[in-house]
Structure formats: structure tokens, C-alpha cells
Structure 1
């Protein structure tokens, strides 16, 4: 098995750790909304809402840095999977699936959730150029997602993303361990082969 491209591995691990850092910085906001059971959660909902609105309205450079980091991670995977070995297909292929799953969660849950929370419009409603569409009151009553549920789904999405990123790191570590193990076995086999050849020459 050829040695994995260390620079490409760095391109994967660097952004992954960066994303985990972002998620960890959000964990204090998510904890009391999703995990703890305080008597009154309302103050924590308000804090999380204000935090997410602040993030959504941050300067464009913030989102651009995040998207560049996502692209760097994809570049690392494409580099490692160019003319892939069997181990690359196993470890990097699975890690890429996890990484793309994380991007999907980010687009479908995080980005849309930020837009909904920033607008303060919850439930089965869409804003199209300032117009609220809620044509069927019965459907609205059935499909309505409350403010609390929206915030809890957002916090749960962060947890899912954290698990996905940890999975990417575990697979990269697994590839490194498998490579080291195989290298050690090959070295031991070569050493034993040399010893046999040396013993054969002595007998002659």
C-alpha cells in the first residue's frame, strides 16, 4: 500500500479540526437548549436566538472563510482519492461520505435554520421577497414547528455535525494506523527474508 499523501491528509484534518472548534464554541449555547433540563428554558432560547442572529448578520468575510475551509477539505479528499489505492477507497472514501453528509446537514439544517431564526418566522411559512405564504390554515396548524423545536433542531444539527467531524478524524487516524502496521509487517518480512538468505550463504 503506498504511503498516504501527508499534505492532502493535512488539508483534511486542518478544516475538520477548525469545524470542531466552531461547533465547540457553540456548545455552551446549545447545551441548555438540548441537553440540560433547567426549570425555565426561555432565557436560554433567547440567548441562543440572539447568538444565531448575530452570526447570521456577521460580515460576509466570516462565511467566506468558512466556505473556503469546506472547499479545502474537499480538495484534500480529491487529492488523496486521485488514482486511489484499496486503503484510500476504504478509509478516505468513507471519510468523504461523512464529510459530504456534514455539508448536507449544514446546507439543509444550519443555513436554512439561520434564515428562519433571523427572520423570526417559525413553522410552515416561507418568506419570498417579504411575502408570507400560509395559504392553508389547517395545514399550517398541523405542520407548524414551534420556536423551541426550531432551536432544538438547530442545536441537534450542531451535535450531528460534531459526530460527523469526529468520524472523519477517526477514519484518518485508522488509515495512519493501518499504514504503520503494514509498514512494520513488511519490514519484519524483509528482515526475515534477509536473515534466511544470509543463513543460506553461510551453509554454502
Structure 2
């Protein structure tokens, strides 16, 4: 694969990753108060704010979710472009980045999308009282909102990991190019010195 295609693939990965991080950063004020604010009498207000925020996002026009899914597909296309005819040198970085990216997509599908549906429906636990002796394995409103907020934080850390690996790959390639250029210069100097001695 050419160097241009490799750079374009990197761009297709970094762009969507930064886009997702921007979305998560805009949600961080809501998530922070739910996860790390010390319990006080007015803490329920933070849960209500996050709940209203999630309902508002879930009720957004379909074009919003379509744009988000197009951006996700763009990131996957970038990985496929880089992994096609990949060299052993970038297999570690791109392979690990792809694993993190897929893990992020799984967190999004299993926790965040499910959180949107649960909060919008307002069904946090059993709708009827459980018979005596049965264990309630449903989580309540506050725990559901905490899981949603924690999923956003986990997803942000995973995406930062993708960026770190892509930056590490860039650094490793530049270092390799510098070493090759240095060896070539030394080899040319040795050949020139050998010709002078003759």
C-alpha cells in the first residue's frame, strides 16, 4: 500500500474519532455531576437534567443519527483501507486501534443506545411488584443513568486510546524513515571514501 493511501486512511480514522470525542465532551458536564458529585440533598436535580438531556437527544431528527452512523462507517473504512495489504510494521498499531474502535462501537450499541431507549421509555425496573421470594435483578433510575454516564466516559477513554496508537504509529514511521535516511547517508559516505582511497 502506498504512503498516500496510508496517510488518507489515518485521516479517515482520526477525523471520526475526534468527532466522537467532541460529542462526548459536550455530554461530559451532564455525566460528571451524575458520576462524581458528592451526594447531597439536591443531587436528584443532576439526574433529572441528564434524563432530560438523553430524552432530548433521542427525540432528535433522524438525520442526526444518520450522520453519526455515516461518520462511524467512515472510521471503519479508514481501518479497512489501512489494513489492506498492510505491512508487519503497522500491524500492531492498526490492529490494536481497530480492536479499540470496535470495542467503542460495542459500548455505543449495547449501553448508550440501550440507555436512550430505557430513559425515553422511563422503564427502569419491574412495572409490577415482585412476588415474595423473587430477587429483583433490575437496576433503578439512578443506576441506569450512572451506567449511561460511565459508558460515555469509557467510550471517551477508548477513543483516546485509538488516537494514542495512531500517534504512536506516526512517530514510529518517522523514526524508521530517519534511521533509513541516516544509514543511506553513512553508506554513501563510505562509498565515496572508498573511491577516494582507490
Fold match (TM-score > 0.5): yes
Determine the structure 2 residue equivalent to 1:92.
94
Task: Check if 1:162 corresponds to 2:156.
Answer: yes
Determine the structure 1 residue equivalent to 2:179.
185
Please tell me whether the aligned partners of residues 32 and 38 of structure 1 are also in contact (alpha carbons under 8 angstroms).
Answer: no
Determine the structure 1 residue equivalent to 2:145.
151
Determine the structure 2 residue equivalent to 1:129.
none
What is the Cα-based RMSD across aligned positions, in Å?
A: 1.9
Cα distance change on mapping 1:140 and 1:166 into 2, 3 Å: farther
SS at match of 1:5: helix
CA distance in structure 1 between the partners assigned to 2:162 and 2:131 by the alignment: 44
CA distance in structure 2 between the partners assigned to 1:38 and 1:81 by the alignment: 48
Q: Deviations over 1:51-94 (max 9, x none)?
A: 00000010000000000000000000000000111122110010
Please tell me whether the aligned partners of residues 20 and 162 of structure 1 are also in contact (alpha carbons under 8 angstroms).
Answer: yes
Q: Which runs of 5 or more structure 2 residues have no equivalent in the other structure?
A: none
SS at match of 1:143: coil
Determine the structure 2 residue equivalent to 1:8.
9
Determine the structure 2 residue equivalent to 1:128.
none
Please tell me whether the aligned partners of residues 55 and 116 of structure 2 are also in contact (alpha carbons under 8 angstroms).
Answer: yes
What TM-score does the superposition give when structure 2 sets the normalisation length? 0.94
Alignment of 1:46-65 (within 5 A): 46-65=48-67
Cα distance change on mapping 1:53 and 1:139 into 2, 3 Å: farther
CA distance in structure 2 between the partners assigned to 1:140 and 1:146 by the alignment: 16
SS at match of 2:37: coil
Determine the structure 1 residue equivalent to 2:47.
45
Determine the structure 2 residue equivalent to 1:120.
122
Number of residue pairs the alignment of both structures matches: 196
Task: Check if 1:176 corresponds to 2:170.
Answer: yes
CA distance in structure 1 between the partners assigned to 2:160 and 2:36 by the alignment: 19
What TM-score does the superposition give when structure 1 sets the normalisation length? 0.91
Moved over 6 A (4+): none
CA distance in structure 2 between the partners assigned to 1:140 and 1:187 by the alignment: 71
What's the CA shift for 1:144? 2.1
Q: Which runs of 5 or more structure 1 residues have no equivalent in the other structure?
A: 126-131
Please tell me whether the aligned partners of residues 2 and 85 of structure 1 are also in contact (alpha carbons under 8 angstroms).
Answer: no
Cα distance change on mapping 1:138 and 1:78 into 2, 3 Å: farther
